[in-house]
Amino acid sequence: MSYAEHFELQTIERKKNIAMEKRNVFVLIIIVLFSISCEKENIVEVFKTHKWNNHPAFQYDNSILLNSFSVDSSYMVISGTDFFSKVGDVANLGGYDSIFEDDFIKQKNIAIKPVSRKIPITSQITVTYKETGSSAAQVNFISTANYGSAASYSTTLKMEEVDPTFSGFNFERAAWNDCIAINENGQVLIPYYSRSNEVVQLRLLLVNTQQTGSSMLPTEILDTKIIKIEDEYEYHVNYLQSSNELFFVTTDSKTYRIDTEGNLTDKFDDFHLYDMVQRNDTLYAFGYDFTLGQNEFLHSTNNGKIWNKTSTSEFEIAHLNLTTIEDKTIGYWRSQIWQVMFSDSGYSVVELDNDGLAGEIITSITAYKNKVYVTTRSGLFYRNLSNLFEIKEAGSN
């Protein structure tokens, strides 16, 4: 090989090495920049805060929460699929000590079997159920003050013993509301299916209960009454609720008003009633008008005997779950929260800040002491009660 050829080969090799070094430097720069970018994203994520805080006590197996209820400032109860949680003063916790205000005490109750529906809780009783076939189906009545304590504080009602034609609870449409209703008198209304001679019909069981003198004793069942829904094609309960001493049951195409004696006092064929709330002496509700094919806002000044339709409503507003906090009406749907203002001529809503709740499914909202708590199907969230009515910023999730 001549000197010129050798020199040319060395020149080519040097150029290759220089190109390789440049490429390696470029790749190294890309890796460094990507690493810095990831670190910045991690830093932003770590220090990102939300208005609604996720409570650390309810994660993993304890994250599916279905309902909540507070008794003044004495205690608060949360129900999960197979457990309860309570927070409050020592005297109101059955001897269990709560060290901190947010120290929720979790305990399973052997009378509480896994449930998938929202069970009702009042200041007197909590009603839950067990469904593993018709012969084993039962309803449990538990003193709320002892919710989660020993099974001796619970009273059991076996459905098949009350009605031999019982074939299953009618809960499958109860996606957002309580699957069982309790009125202010402690009466309980339970929807179920009856099967006789291969004919399936909708039935309601009215249970009269009485809380004994001491909250440490079990709830007493006084008597029961089977209410028959004889109308054709009425197989499912879509909404079940109470107002004062009355019950309202919405089926596939009708709404029934039921009094304390278990009588179907009124039947409305032309509209569905969704959730309702009472303000002073007026009942306000959202519903669906079958004749016009649209969602409606209604009100009644005679305990639901006559309903006046006053305006239409948007889908998500019509399907709000309504509750009262700080003497104001709060509505929630999926992850959103509204304050709802009513009048005889219509309604207005203001969407409230839900920062931290995006993507959640809200199952209840309860105020306790100086905080407000939101139960969801993936955990418990809370914020200061004084900030609940903060209006949501336009354009936020």
**384/116 Cα distance (integer angstroms):** 29
Contact 240, 188 (CB under 8 A): no
Q: Which of 162, 146, 149 is nearest to 208 (CA)?
A: 162
Phi then psi for residue 343, to 5 deg, are -150, 170
**196/199 Cα distance (integer angstroms):** 5
Q: What is the mean pLDDT of the chain?
A: 82
Task: Give the pLDDT score at 214.
Answer: 60
**247/254 Cα distance (integer angstroms):** 14
**339/352 Cα distance (integer angstroms):** 7
Q: What does R_g of the chain's alpha carbons equal in angstroms?
A: 29
**pLDDT, mean of residues 276-285:** 94
Among left, alpha and beta (phi > 0; psi -120 to 50; other), residue 155 is: beta
| pLDDT higher than 50, residue 274 | yes
* Structural tokens at position 273: 């009633």
**294/315 Cα distance (integer angstroms):** 9
Q: What residue ranges do the domains of the chain occupy?
A: 1-48
140: number of Cβ within 10 Å = 22
83: number of Cβ within 10 Å = 19
**18/29 Cα distance (integer angstroms):** 17
pLDDT range class, residue 291, cuts 50, 70, 90? confident
Contact 227, 242 (CB under 8 A): no
Worst-scoring range by mean pLDDT, 79-83, 251-255, 279-283, 370-374? 79-83
